[in-house]
Amino acid sequence: MKVSIKTYNPPKLPQRFLRWYCKPELLEDIEGDIHEDFNKRYIRSGARSARLYYILDVIRFFRPFTIRNFMKTQIINPMFKINTRIAFRNLAKNKLYSFINITGLAIGIAACLIIAHYVIFQLSFDRFHENAESVYRVNTTTYQNEEYVGTGIYCGHALAPALKRDVPEISKYSRVHPEYGGAIMNRVIDGEDSEPFREQNIIYVEPAFLEMFTIDFLQGDPATALDDVNSLLISESMAKKYFGDEANNALGQFIKASGSWGNGTLEVTGIFKDYPANSHLDFDFLKPISKVVEQNNYAEEGTNWGWTNFFMYAQLGENVSQDIAGEKIADLMHTYTPEDLESTSQRVVLTLQPITDIHLKSDVDDGDGEIADTKSINSVYFMILIAGFILIIAWINFINLSTAKATERGLEVGIKKAIGAHRSQLISQFLTESFWINFIAISLALGFTYLLLPILGNTIGEPLNLQLGHPVVLGGIVGLVFIGPLLAGVYPAFVLSSFKTVSALKGNQSIKMKYQFSIRKGLVVFQFVISTLLIAGTFTVSKQIDFMRNGDTGFNRSEVLVIKGPSIGVTRAKFDVFKNSMLSFPGVENMGTSRSVPGAGYNFATSGRNALAEKSTEQRIEVTWVDPDFIHTYDLELIAGRDFSDAIEDGPNGALVSAFSVEAFNLGTPEEAIGKRILISEDTVFVRGVIEDHNWQSLHRAYMPSALLHIPATVRYMSIRINPQNAQSVIQEAEKQFMDVFPGNPLEYYFMDDFFNRQYEDDQQFGKIFNAFAGFAIFAACLGLFGLASYSVVQKAKEIGIRKVLGASSSHITMLFSKRYMILVVVANLIAIPLSYFAMKQWLSDYAFSIPITIDLFILPILLLAIIATVTIMMQTVRASMANPVKNLRAE
């Protein structure tokens, strides 16, 4: 026998961990050894070292041979089978609750899966490029007098070669030049022109572009495809469009292009697979940039930096970090064009933006005509938030309905406990039940997702399909199968299994139930807070969209037919013929032409200032050329001065500036401004007239200084104000005249209001998605309320019977039972109002012109929700109050 030595206690937590994971047959041995060692070390080297080694030992024993098999115990366990059988019996017994439970969950999960697909799609932008990690776009951020002016993507064509020369970190670059204004294209067979089409998605790129971006070539050799100045690469679907059945032999065929930048007969040197939708770029045709740089006066002095029509992508060499290269390029504009920048006291910073960031995190200001497909990352976060909300609502339903069933299950629990069931066994029974409900719900949800995804895809105009194989989706599903039942099932399982045997058998649960009910109430309130938030949100979004679509923009955009002008064989004489014949047609009230129209952007943005002011006061000014009839066609109101009706054909005609510009350039009152001079792009222009402020572009944007300059006539855009009754005949007449006067040009026309509102497509999409998911959430919440109400009515059937026997009226009983739920809805609303106020304010702050937040934005959602909730509850309570009391009282 050993002498009893003093023993010490090892740390508790690692000990418990060991006991948890270790195989029972090995535990005593291992634990004993470690403990003995602990004691020795304690005496030898002190408590700290002993504890540390104890922890280390416990961790080091976490090996395959010591860990007991957790999975095996669950599956082999015959209880799992029995519990499964009990679970299905219970589901079959309470069909209504099972239905509500499972559908509610399925809807929640489906909403999550759908949103997951949407989010994955948004995050996948430009990641398919092999060089996605090393290709950057060069952005330009401008400061004036150290004040932020804006960030843009446009630069002169000299920038790219200069950067390549000065920054060795840049291994490849490609300038990109869009075909501004599009081009008319037609196939040429044996010198004959085929049917022409107008194409917008054309860009001019360097041969290196094909190496930097991943483009799948079907035919042609990417290495040489863009070498010839008259080469043309077309997408697969464009090959079908132009060559039909001969699409497979399109290589080497000819297409004639007539646009503003690179005309001529071009040879098809490559056909590429349609460029994927999940890229910020969108093009159907690629042309060599040499075509654009060699023509179009780009060779002239001063155009190399000043004509900022290009943007630039750079690929960094291997192992070059964005920071190093970014630092090097930041101030290079000041080495290239120091005088220009100094004289305007501007500071320009060049930055590299990863192409994978462009779609969601573009830091380019909207105003700079970003041609990329961009979305705010916030809308993605927002979707994730909504998905989370819906899932939580569904889980709350599950919890509420399960605990509501508690009294019924109480007897079962009591009997099981009385014959010796452990609490852990009961918990595993309820968790098994929860597992099966979740499992069925997920299977259903997959079905819903499969059916609904294409619909969402249609709404956002992108291809969306069920991607079960995607790691995120797969992970989500697996996670939901295991975590869902635990999250939603743990609380009910613990509540149900906690009943005291005797009181459960007696059915005496009143004290306990009261406590539970308050948690349930809390959860219902939470559901309705979310519902109110979402309804108020839906309401605000649709009102704002409505406001933008129909709101006052300062010009009259209804009943204006816009014809996109011809570009082949245009002469002034032909134009006059067309205009006169249109004007003489009954139903045509006016016709104006311009180089751009509202909603299509301005012609160019440049610097402007008061001629008397310092150069440092320069501001961005947006300029558009219009003919004398333009402002009458659009009912633009002249505040002061003259319009262009008495303008001379060639001479200084001055500018019509907006009231906002008068203020911005410090020109005094509109009347005082007349005749004063402003400098636009350093050219002196006098103010001829002042027109009312108008939204040339969407209401997202605030007013900017803008000016309309005179042009005698143009065919770029022809706007015709028509009499609404004759709309159809005017279109027919326009078509006939157009074909007669400008043969060989495709006719493209639209109505101004439709065209202008196309700017809100993104907002409308957002609105639609938001509506749909708010609907999901409200439906799920009501489903839960319905279940709860119906359950409490069943429970209180006797009480209702007794009340009726004693003389209570049906309406009285209905009121009595509805009241408690109505209170919950009211409480929920009280919480939701301030929350939704802040949410609305936040969302509306994105819009320069927005609706005011008024009280009706809250009242309507609340009323709506109250009505939905009332109807849901009434459906149950009315039925109960109408029932024959004898029926309920007799049953025992």
Q: Is 717 left (phi over 0), alpha (psi -120 to 50) or beta?
A: beta
DSSP-assigned states of every residue in 401-450:
HHHHTHHHHHHHHHHHHHTT--HHHHHHHHHHHHHHHHHHHHHHHHHHHH
The DSSP letter of residue 106 is H
Judged by CB under 8 A, the stretch of 24-32, 269-277, 553-561, 618-626 that binds other proteins is 24-32
CB of 515 to other proteins, least distance (A): 41
Closer residue to other proteins, CB minimum distance, 66 or 503: 66
Give the tokens for residue 757. 């509102």
Residue 761 interacts with other proteins (CB under 8 A): yes or no:
no
Phi, psi of 686 (to 5 degrees): -95, 155
CB of 76 to other proteins, least distance (A): 21
CB of 49 to other proteins, least distance (A): 16
Residue 206 interacts with other proteins (CB under 8 A): yes or no:
no
Q: Which of 66, 230, 542, 606 touches other proteins (CB under 8 A)?
A: 66
CB of 43 to other proteins, least distance (A): 10
**Rounded to the nearest 10 degrees, how much is the dihedral formed by the CA atoms of 476, 481, 487, 488?**
120
Closer residue to other proteins, CB minimum distance, 36 or 195: 36
Residue 65 interacts with other proteins (CB under 8 A): yes or no:
yes
Residue 5 interacts with other proteins (CB under 8 A): yes or no:
yes
CB of 75 to other proteins, least distance (A): 24
Q: Which of 48, 63, 165, 514 touches other proteins (CB under 8 A)?
A: 63
For residues 32 and 19, the answer to whether their CB atoms sit within 8 Å is no
Residues 152-191 that bind other proteins (CB under 8 A): none
DSSP-assigned states of every residue in 697-712:
S-TTSPP--EEEEE-S
Q: Which of 10, 104, 288, 801 touches other proteins (CB under 8 A)?
A: 10
Residue 33 interacts with other proteins (CB under 8 A): yes or no:
yes
Closer residue to other proteins, CB minimum distance, 59 or 486: 59
Q: Which of 61, 389, 395, 791 touches other proteins (CB under 8 A)?
A: 61
Measured CA to CA, the distance from residue 360 to residue 484 in angstroms comes to 31
For residues 408 and 191, the answer to whether their CB atoms sit within 8 Å is no
Q: Which residues pair with 272 in a beta bridge?
A: 217, 235
Measured CA to CA, the distance from residue 855 to residue 837 in angstroms comes to 10
Measured CA to CA, the distance from residue 187 to residue 245 in angstroms comes to 13
Amino acid at 562: V
CB atoms within 10 A of CB 510: 9
Q: Is 220 left (phi over 0), alpha (psi -120 to 50) or beta?
A: left
Closer residue to other proteins, CB minimum distance, 36 or 735: 36
The interface mask with other proteins, positions 279-318, x = CB under 8 A, is: ----------------------------------------
Closer residue to other proteins, CB minimum distance, 3 or 511: 3
Q: Which of 16, 60, 812, 887 touches other proteins (CB under 8 A)?
A: 60
Q: Which of 14, 37, 131, 457 touches other proteins (CB under 8 A)?
A: 37
Closer residue to other proteins, CB minimum distance, 35 or 574: 35
Residue 36 interacts with other proteins (CB under 8 A): yes or no:
yes
Q: Which residues pair with 172 in a beta bridge?
A: 315
Give the tokens for residue 173. 């670059």
Closer residue to other proteins, CB minimum distance, 53 or 430: 53
Give the tokens for residue 493. 């399982």
Closer residue to other proteins, CB minimum distance, 35 or 198: 35
Closer residue to other proteins, CB minimum distance, 36 or 327: 36
Residue 19 interacts with other proteins (CB under 8 A): yes or no:
no
Measured CA to CA, the distance from residue 851 to residue 840 in angstroms comes to 10
CB of 59 to other proteins, least distance (A): 9
Closer residue to other proteins, CB minimum distance, 19 or 127: 19
Closer residue to other proteins, CB minimum distance, 4 or 335: 4
The DSSP letter of residue 155 is B
Helix or strand or coil: residue 262?
Answer: coil
Closer residue to other proteins, CB minimum distance, 41 or 557: 41
Q: Which residues touch 723 (CB under 8 Å, ≥6 apart)? A: 559, 586, 587, 588, 589, 730
For residues 118 and 470, the answer to whether their CB atoms sit within 8 Å is no
User: Which parts of 605-726 fold into alpha helices (H)?
Assistant: 630-633, 659-664, 670-673
Judged by CB under 8 A, the stretch of 25-33, 94-102, 242-250, 807-815 that binds other proteins is 25-33
Give the tokens for residue 351. 């930055």
Residue 7 interacts with other proteins (CB under 8 A): yes or no:
yes
Closer residue to other proteins, CB minimum distance, 34 or 659: 34
CB of 29 to other proteins, least distance (A): 4
Q: Which residues touch 316 (CB under 8 Å, ≥6 apart)? A: 134, 136, 169, 170, 171, 322, 325, 352
For residues 876 and 722, the answer to whether their CB atoms sit within 8 Å is no
CB of 39 to other proteins, least distance (A): 5
Judged by CB under 8 A, the stretch of 56-64, 156-164, 195-203, 423-431 that binds other proteins is 56-64
CB of 9 to other proteins, least distance (A): 8
For residues 361 and 183, the answer to whether their CB atoms sit within 8 Å is no
Q: Is 4 left (phi over 0), alpha (psi -120 to 50) or beta?
A: beta
Contacting positions for other proteins (CB under 8 A): 2, 4-5, 7, 9-10, 26, 28-37, 39-40, 57, 60-61, 63, 65-66
